[in-house]
Amino acid sequence: MRLELTPLVERLRSLAKRGDVATIREELEDIHEVDLADALERMTVEEGLEVFRKLEPVDAAFILTELTQETQRLYSEELSDEVLAYYLDILPMDDALGLRESIGEDRFEVLLNMIPQPDAQEIRRSLRYPEDSVGRVMTEGFFKVNPDQSIASVLADIRLASEDKYESVYDLYVLDEGEHLLGVFSLRRAVRARPDLTARELMNDEIVTARASDPAETVARDLARYGFRALPVVDDRGRMVGVLTGDDAQYLIGQADTVDVLKLGAVGGDADSYLSLNPLQLYRRRVVWLLGLFVAETLTGTVMRHYAQAAELNPLTFFIPLIIGAGGNTGSQATTTITRAIAVGDVKTSDLMAVLKRELPTSVMLGLTLGAIGYFRAIFWTESASLIPYVVGLSLPLVTIWATCIGGILPILAKRLRFDPAVMSAPFISTFVDATGLIIYFEVALRILGRNAFG
């Protein structure tokens, strides 16, 4: 069962103030590293490090891998090379490699020179594969057996192997002397088989494999499609070099699905936890897409301006597509982000104020950006003495702030009322914000231009 994060955050803050190593380790030993990482994301870096530095080193290493990339970077800057090198040494290869971008390539190379050579070579081997390939996320810790080895000998080897030698032992892979994969059989089948049988007699030689250079997401979806616990990975020569495990595949699919959902809502960036992002990061993820959509809306406005002039309509109508487009798009961005965060458990109904603290400043930055562009666009579309550019330049920030805050709040309110937050989807928000955005636009026009502007 997932922990409530608010009480856990308060508990961590209390422990940070006390600062006693033994107490912190005893209090937190039964809490899963994923929950601890989520709680640390909601604390300041200074508060988090007060707790993080006092954890068991092994626990701290795995918690670091669960933090978002930005938080990993901030923590890594405060940790010594010796500490980080120890983390790289004890972590599985794919987790160690995942820290490379947050640590920085140059420092990462320095750390590789500080850890045992076999571990460093394993990480360097994975770096030869393309980025986003399965070779970057596979593990080399799989159990391989000789085709002529007896099942009794295989089971004896498993019992004698150190606990940390293999990431998982669900399937056993039969390899020839050249490391080519001949077949596979499950541990369950081995336990139930006669001890005198050989691996060759027990194995299944109809094998589904992936190449190390294949896209990681594609391989992860193949693994899920066939229902495997792990998928063997081979190099270009057909030699087995690793396996993609089920938990890594699940993580890859989850990340990819989140990114796809965010793109549908015109939001860029990685699938980081929402509450780990500050307003500036949220702004950067949204503004590029928003500007592209804003430019597209100006084309609609150009068409309307052409026909409105021919029909001698009020110049205020030229900018209606910009106003309702900006509101609908910013509202959709917010509601898509929050709905997805609720779905994956990053945001709960108790986080309403935390969401507002992020969405409000984000909306102000987005609104000022769109307002400035809209103001100068209106100058080219209206007469030199017109006050309409001021109407557009002020209306756009107000509509953007309104739409973003509403888009962030409504999914949480829906969850509180036990409705599906997906009900507050982009079409619903767009429809609602279109109407209210026009009210804001015309009210601003009324106050700047007066009633005669509508005559």
Please tell me the distance from the alpha carbon of residue 334 to that of residue 293, in angstroms, as a whole number.
15
- pLDDT confidence tier of residue 247, bands split at 50, 70 and 90: confident
For 101-146, write each residue's pLDDT tens digit.
889 889 999 999 998 888 888 888 888 888 889 988 888 888 889 9
Give mean pLDDT, residues 281-299: 79
Structure tokens at 328: 């609908």
Q: Is the pLDDT of residue 423 over 70?
A: no
How many CB atoms neighbour CB 377 within 10 A?
A: 21
- Pairwise pLDDT comparison (18 vs 452), residue with the higher score: 18
The H or E element containing residue 185 is strand 181-186
| CATH tag, 143-248 | 3.10.580.10
Please give the C-alpha separations between residue 424 and each of 105, 217, 227, 330, 408, in angstroms, as whole numbers: 42, 29, 34, 14, 10
| Residue 455 pLDDT greater than 60, yes or no | no
CA distances from 163 to 137, 160, 166, 169, 248 (A): 21, 9, 7, 11, 20
Q: What is the pLDDT of residue 384?
A: 62
Reported confidence tier of residue 287, pLDDT bands at 50, 70, 90 = confident
203: pLDDT strictly greater than 60: yes
Residue, of 1 and 139, whose pLDDT is higher: 139
Query: What pLDDT, on a 0 to 100 scale, did the predictor assign at position 268?
Result: 67
Grouping H, G, I as helix, E, B as strand and the rest as coil, residue 143 is strand
Q: Provide the terminal-to-terminal Cα distance of the chain, rounded to the nearest Å.
A: 63
408: burial class by Cβ within 10 Å (0-12, 13-18, 19+)?
buried
Q: What is the reported pLDDT for 317?
A: 78
Query: Domain ranges in the chain?
Result: 5-128, 143-248, 265-454
Comparing 307 with 286, the larger pLDDT belongs to 286
Global pTM reads 0.68
DSSP state of 211: E
Mean pLDDT for 71-88 is: 91
Closest C-alpha among 397, 414, 236, 258 to residue 336: 258
* Residue appearing with tokens 């070099």: 241
Which positions ≥6 away from 79 have C-beta within 8 Å? none
Residue pLDDT, tens place only, 137-167? 888 888 889 999 999 998 988 888 776 666 6
- The mean of the pLDDT values for the chain is 84
H/E/C letters for each residue in 245-306? Answer: EHHHHHHHHHHHHHHHHHHHCCCCCCCCCHHHCCHHHHHHHHHHHHHHHHHHHHHHHHHHHH
How does DSSP classify residue 92? -
Most confident of 269-273, 407-411, 424-428: 407-411
Residue 306: what pLDDT?
65
Instruction: Give me the pLDDT at residue 402, please.
Output: 92
Say which CATH architecture domain 5-128 belongs to.
Answer: Alpha Horseshoe (1.25)
Of 28-37, 126-135, 171-180, 253-262, give the lowest mean pLDDT range.
253-262
Phi, psi of 171 (to 5 degrees): -125, 150
- Count, residues in the chain: 455
Measure the CA–CA gap between 161 and 163, rounded to whole angstroms.
6
Q: Does residue 390 have a pLDDT over 60?
A: yes
Tens digits of per-residue pLDDT, 294-326?
777 667 666 766 666 655 667 777 788 888 888
Report whether pLDDT(271) > 70: no
- For 265-454, CATH gives 1.10.357.20
Q: What percent of the chain has pLDDT over 70?
A: 89
